[in-house]
Chains A and B, each alone.
Chain A
Amino acid sequence: MIRYALGRFASLVISLIVASIVIFAVVEVIPGDPAAFMLGVNARPDTIAALRAEMGLDQSLIARYLAWVGGMLQGDFGMSWTYKTPVADLIGDRVWVSLPLAIYALILSTIVAFPAGIYAASRRGSAGDTAIMGATQLGVAIPNFWFAMILVLIFAINLRWFSAGGFPGWGNPLAAIKALTLPAVALALPQAAILARVMRSSLLDMLGEDFIRTARAKGLTRRQALWRHALRNALIPVLTIIGLQFSFLLAGGIIIEQVFFLPGLGRLIFQSISARDLIVVESVVMLLVFTVIMVNFIVDLTYAAVDPRLRVRA
C-alpha cells in the first residue's frame, strides 16, 4: 500500500509540474509579449515597458516560471492587474460560491442517480427501467446551460419561486442555498443521468457474477442478493465516476455561473479574460487543475485502501 501510495504521489507531482508548465507556456510564452497583450494595441511603449518591469518580464523565462510556482506554493498568486488586489484574495472571495455549487450539484446528482440506477437494474426490462433509461438519454443530450435557462423561465419568471440570478452571500445561509438551488439542479442533471447509467450497468454486471449465483443458491431472493452482495461491489466503478464528475461539476460551474450571474470563479475568469488580466486567468486555471488532480489522487488512494486488487494494477 505504501509503495502504491508513493507511486501515485510521484505521478501526482509530475502531473502538477507538467500542468503548471503547460499553463505558463500557453498564457505567458505563446502570445508574444504579455504586457503588450494586456494593455491592448493602443498602449504607449513606455507604459508597456513599465508593466513589463512590474510583471518581471525583463527576467528570464525560467526565473519567471520559478517565481510564479514558488509564489503559489506560499499562497501568493500574484497581484491582479485590473483589481490591484492580490489574486489570492479574489479567489478566496469567489471560491465560496463555486465550491459549494459543485458540492451541492454532486449531492443532488447522487441522490437522484442512486435510486434510479438501482431501481432500473433490479427491474431490468420493465416499463420503469425503460422510462429511466429514456430519461437518462435525454439527460446526457441536454446542454445544461440551456436547461438552466428553461429552469429560469419556469421557476423564476413564471412561478417566481426563485430569483433568476445573483447571489446574496453567506450572511443568510438559507437565502444563499436557495440562490444556488436552480444552478445546482442545472449542473447536476447531465451528471445524474450518466451516474444512473453507470450504477445500473455496474449492478447488472455484478448480478451476473458467480458469487451472486451462490447467494441465490443459498436461498436469498434476487432483491436480497442485490442489496447485500451486488451493491457493495458495484460501487467501485460508481465511485470512480463520482470522483471524475467532481471535476466536471467544478468546470461546468463556470458556464452555469454565467447563466445565473453568480460571482464565482467562472465569472472571475471571464472578467479577467475580457480585462486581459492574464495573471488572474493563469492562477485560477492552475487552481482548478490542481483541485481536479488532487481529487483524482485522493479517489485513487481511497480505492486502493478499500480494494487491495487495485494496488497491483497501478
Chain B
Amino acid sequence: MSRNLIIGAGLTLFFTALAALSFLWTPYDIEVLDIPNRLLRPGGAHLLGTDHFGRDILSMIMMGARTSIAVALVAVGIGMGLGVPLGLWAAARHGSLLDDLIMRGNDLVFAFPSLVIAILITAVFGPSAVNAIIAIGIFNIPVFARLTRSAALPLWERDFIRAARVCGKSSTRISAEHILPNITNLMIVQGTIQFSLGILAEAALSYIGLGAQPPTASWGRMLADAQTLVSLAPHVALIPGFAILLTVLGLNLLGDGLRDWLDPRIRVVRT
C-alpha cells in the first residue's frame, strides 16, 4: 500500500467519521445563537472558535461535512447509476445508431459549461441541496458513460466474452455478469475523483447561495458568511476552507492510491 493510499484513506475516514458523529453528537447546538460569545478565537470552550452569531465552528464543520458528503455522494450515485448502464449499453451495441446517440448525447452535455448550467438550474428551481445534487449529478453521467464504454469495448473482443456468447447468453446478461465485474476497479477510482469534484462543486454552489439553505450548515455558506469578516476574524474564513481542502485532497490521494493498488494500468479522466 502506498503512502498516498494511507494518507488519502485517513483523511477521508476522518471527515466521514466527523459527519457520522454529527448525527449523534456535536459539541454545541448550531441553531442556538450566542451573540455575546461571537467571533471567539480557537481554543478554550470552543475548540475552533465561534462565528459572527456565536455558533460553535467545530459543530458547524461537522454538520457541514454531512451536507458536503451527502450531496457529493448522491451526485456520484446519479452519475454512476445512469452513466454506467448507458456506457455498457452503448458498448454492447457498438457501432449501432443507439451507440451513436448515446455518445453524441454525452458530447453535448460535456460541451455545456457545467457550473453555468448548475447555476441556471438552481436559479430557476430555487436554491436547495436537492437541486444542487441534480445539477452536479447530471454532469457526472457522461463521465461514467464514456469511461464505461471505452473500458467495455476492448472486453467484448476477449475470448471469455466470446465463450459466454457461444453459450447463448444475451448481451444484457454478458454486460451484467462479465463486463461489469471487470470494470469495477476503474469505476471505484473514477468515482473517488468525481466525489472530490462534487465536494468542490457543492462548496462553490453554496458559496454563491445556490446550495443548501440555512439552517442546514454547509462549508461553502460558512465561507460566504465569513467573507466580510476576513480581516476581523480570519479563523472564521480559514477553517471551512481547510476542511474543504483536506477532504478533497484526501479523496484525490485515495483515488490515486486505489488506482496504483488495484490496477496501475487504469487511467482516470480529470478536467
Contacts and interface: CB of A to CB of B under 8 A. Distances in A.
Interface string A261-303: 0000000011001000000010001001100110010000000
A258 interface: yes
A137 B8 CA distance: 12
Interface of B: 104, 107-108, 111-117, 119-121, 123-125, 196, 200, 203-204, 207-208, 220, 223, 226-227, 230-231, 234, 237-238, 240-241, 244-246, 248-249, 252-253, 270-271
A140 B113 CA distance: 18
Contact of A145 (B104, B114, B207): B207
Interface of A: 11, 15, 18-19, 23, 26-27, 30-31, 137-138, 140-143, 145-146, 149-150, 152-153, 157, 194, 197, 241, 244, 247-248, 250-252, 254-255, 258-259, 269-270, 273, 281, 285, 288-289, 292-293, 296
B196 A141 contact: yes
30 contacts: A18-B108, A19-B108, A19-B112, A26-B121, A30-B124, A31-B125, A137-B249, A137-B252, A137-B253, A141-B196, A141-B249, A143-B200, A143-B220, A143-B245, A145-B223, A146-B237, A146-B240, A146-B244, A150-B237, A150-B238, A153-B237, A157-B231, A251-B114, A254-B116, A254-B119, A255-B204, A269-B123, A285-B120, A289-B111, A293-B111
Given A27-B124, A137-B253, A153-B230, A288 B245 contact: no
Contacts of B204: 143, 145, 255
A19 B114 CA distance: 12
A248 to B, nearest CB: 7
Contacts of A250: 113
Contacts of A258: 207-208
Contacts of A293: 111
Given A137-B253, A138-B249, A143-B200, A259 B113 contact: no
Contacts of A281: 120, 123
B230 A157 contact: yes
Q: Is the interface of B mostly helix, strand, loop or mixed?
A: helix
Given A27-B124, A149-B237, A255-B208, A247 B113 contact: yes
B17 to A, nearest CB: 19
B207 A289 contact: no
Given A248-B271, A251-B113, 16 more contacts: A26-B120, A31-B124, A141-B246, A141-B249, A142-B248, A143-B204, A143-B223, A146-B245, A194-B270, A197-B270, A250-B113, A251-B114, A254-B119, A292-B112, A292-B113, A296-B111
Given A27-B124, A194-B271, A141 B113 contact: no
A91 B125 CA distance: 24
B245 A273 contact: no
B208 A270 contact: yes
Contacts of B114: 251
B68 to A, nearest CB: 11
Contacts of A15: 107-108, 111
B243 to A, nearest CB: 10
Contacts of B231: 153, 157
A140 B245 contact: no
B271 A289 contact: no
B196 A273 contact: no
A213 B200 CA distance: 42
Contact of B119 (A30, A145, A244, A269): A269
Contacts of A194: 270-271
Nearest to A18: B108
A273 B118 CA distance: 13
Looking at A18, A141, A281, A292, which has the most chain B CB atoms within 10 Å of its CB?
A141
Contacts of B200: 143
